[in-house]
């Protein structure tokens, strides 16, 4: 007897399309039998977009493709992760994003390829700017609704915290690899699931009455928030960009400790308990240690062992600073107008 196998039916994702490219990619990855040439759609969209970093359709399409590799969205079919058509579309979108970042982010001066010089250059690059500060606003002025918005904005990365940088572990060797593993061991809780930073952030979200399911707020956040995560994923998942992901992590750690203290202080000011503040309090001490390891033992050692990676180390750090500043500026600008920073407006 002949057995008829039904074609897979499309499943519902926790977020919705933002244009033809993201729609076609989402349909393909969720099992739709409808065939759309999303690579051609992506090429057309890339050719006409004025800014790949802020393009809602392109950002969501690339985010969805990366979500397939992370396994972060259950309905995305795992057997399609390496589908050649989807990979071709990803390459189009990655090229566009990388080109936009390299054009928009000023290239830092290169230090000598010596660990002390590299660390000093990174610390200089990541010094706090004298302008408006999102963490200072949260510490002193933010409302409870704005504090919830902050966690929604951060949830796209932080519920997967450390994962984009972990792509670099098998691509490194020697001193740099050991340094990265030391940092990541802390990020993943030192073997205790309740101490995993992503788990602690999920606890903070629940303490604020928010949904801690990954992807629950993707519809709410703008393209720039997705771009911040996409940039990390692009740097981490592409072996040729190993320097960029190392530089990104160094800058990320160097700019975390003081803002985390301010976020924790602001949340206490608003009356939130330790279930919400613990995540930020942990980062005050942890990242003060991590920044030293990341600057000298990770980025500095990589530059010494592979001087050809130095330019991308500094680019990755500068891109981290620039994109995160764009996101913070978007949030502060919206709040200064008395508006929500979220696409969905009064979600909370």
pLDDT in tens, 88-131: 999 999 999 999 999 999 999 999 999 999 999 999 999 988 88
Residues 151 and 79 in one domain: no
- Give the domain CATH number at 301: 1.20.910.10
Kindly provide the b/e burial profile for residues 99-110, where b requires at least 16 CB atoms within 10 angstroms of the residue's own CB: ebbeeebeebeb
Helix-strand-coil percent breakdown of the chain, rounded to 5?
70, 0, 30
* Assigned domain for 205 exists: yes
Residues 170 and 56 in one domain: no
pLDDT exceeds cutoff 50 at 196: yes
Query: Domain boundary residue among 104, 125, 152?
Result: 104
Query: What's residue 34's pLDDT?
Result: 82
Does residue 208 share a domain with residue 167? Answer: yes
Range of the structural domain that residue 189 is part of: 115-336
Least Cα distance to 60 among 10, 24, 9, 104 occurs for 24
Based on the domain organization, do 50 and 195 belong to the same domain?
no
The DSSP symbol for 345 reads S
> ∠153-156-158 over CA atoms, to 5°?
95
What's the gap between Cα 114 and its chain centre? 28
With contact defined as beta carbons under 8 Å apart, do 131 and 192 qualify? no
| CA separation for the pair 221, 241 (Å, rounded) | 26
Domain membership of residue 130 (yes or no) is yes
Domains in the chain, number: 2
Residues 207 and 290 in one domain: yes
For residues 190 and 221, state if they share a domain: yes
Q: Do 130 and 179 fall within a single domain?
A: yes
Say whether both 38 and 178 belong to one domain: no
Residues 61 and 127 in one domain: no
Residues 269, 177 share a domain: yes
Q: For residue 286, what pLDDT is reported?
A: 82
Residue 7 within a domain: no
6 located within any domain: no
| Sign of the dihedral defined by the CA atoms of residues 261, 325, 230, 254, in that order | negative
pLDDT digits (tens, 9 = 90+) for 318-341: 999 999 999 999 999 999 999 999
What would the pLDDT profile of 230-252 be if each residue is shown by its tens digit? 999 999 999 999 999 999 999 99
Residue 327 is assigned to a structural domain of this protein: yes
Which residues neighbour 321 within 8 Å (Cβ) at sequence distance 6 or greater?
Answer: 125, 126, 251, 255
The Cα–Cα gap between 300 and 321 comes to 18
The residue whose two tokens read 């980025």 is: 299
**Do 95 and 178 share a structural domain?**
no
Would you say residue 166 has pLDDT above 50?
yes
How many other C-beta atoms can be found within 10 angstroms of the C-beta atom of residue 191?
8
Listed residues 104, 123, 149: the one ending a domain: 104
pLDDT digits (tens, 9 = 90+) for 29-44: 988 888 789 999 999 9
With respect to residue 344, please indicate whether it lies within any of the assigned structural domains. Answer: no
Angle between helices 115-125 and 310-336 (to 10 degrees): 20
In a domain, 5, yes or no: no
Which of 48, 76, 104 is at the close of a domain? 104
91 within some domain: yes
Q: Tokens 């200064």 correspond to what residue? A: 336
* In a shared domain, residues 145 and 250: yes
């Amino acid at each position: 007897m002949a057995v008829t196998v039904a074609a897979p039916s499309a499943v519902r994702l926790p977020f919705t399309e933002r244009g033809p490219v993201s729609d076609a990619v989402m349909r393909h990855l969720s099992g739709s039998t409808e065939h759309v040439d999303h690579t051609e759609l992506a090429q057309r969209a890339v050719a006409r977009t004025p800014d790949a970093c802020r393009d809602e359709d392109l950002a969501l399409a690339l985010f969805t493709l990366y979500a397939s590799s992370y396994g972060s969205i259950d309905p995305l079919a795992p057997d399609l992760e390496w589908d050649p058509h989807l990979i071709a579309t990803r390459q189009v979108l990655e090229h566009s994003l990388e080109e936009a970042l390299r054009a928009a982010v000023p290239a830092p001066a290169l230090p000598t390829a010596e660990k002390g010089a590299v660390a000093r250059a990174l610390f200089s690059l990541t010094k706090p700017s004298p302008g408006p500060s999102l963490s200072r606003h949260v510490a002193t002025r933010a409302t409870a609704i704005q504090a919830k918005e902050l966690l929604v904005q951060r949830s796209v990365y932080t519920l997967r915290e450390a994962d984009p940088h972990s792509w670099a572990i098998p691509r490194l060797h020697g001193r740099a690899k050991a340094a990265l593993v030391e940092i990541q061991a802390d990020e993943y809780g030192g073997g205790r699931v309740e101490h995993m930073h992503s788990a602690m952030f999920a606890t903070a979200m629940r303490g604020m009455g928010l949904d801690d399911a990954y992807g629950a707020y993707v519809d709410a956040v703008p393209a720039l928030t997705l771009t911040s995560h996409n940039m990390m994923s692009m740097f981490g998942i592409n072996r040729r960009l190993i320097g960029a992901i190392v530089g990104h992590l160094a800058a990320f750690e160097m700019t975390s400790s003081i803002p985390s203290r301010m976020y924790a202080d602001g949340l206490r000011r608003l009356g939130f308990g330790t279930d919400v503040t613990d995540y930020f309090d942990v980062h005050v001490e942890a990242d003060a240690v991590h920044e030293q390891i990341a600057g000298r033992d990770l980025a500095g050692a990589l530059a010494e062992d592979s001087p050809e990676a130095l330019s991308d180390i500094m680019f990755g750090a500068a891109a981290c600073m620039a994109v995160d500043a764009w996101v913070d500026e978007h949030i502060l600008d919206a709040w200064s107008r008395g508006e929500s920073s979220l696409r969905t407006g009064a979600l909370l």
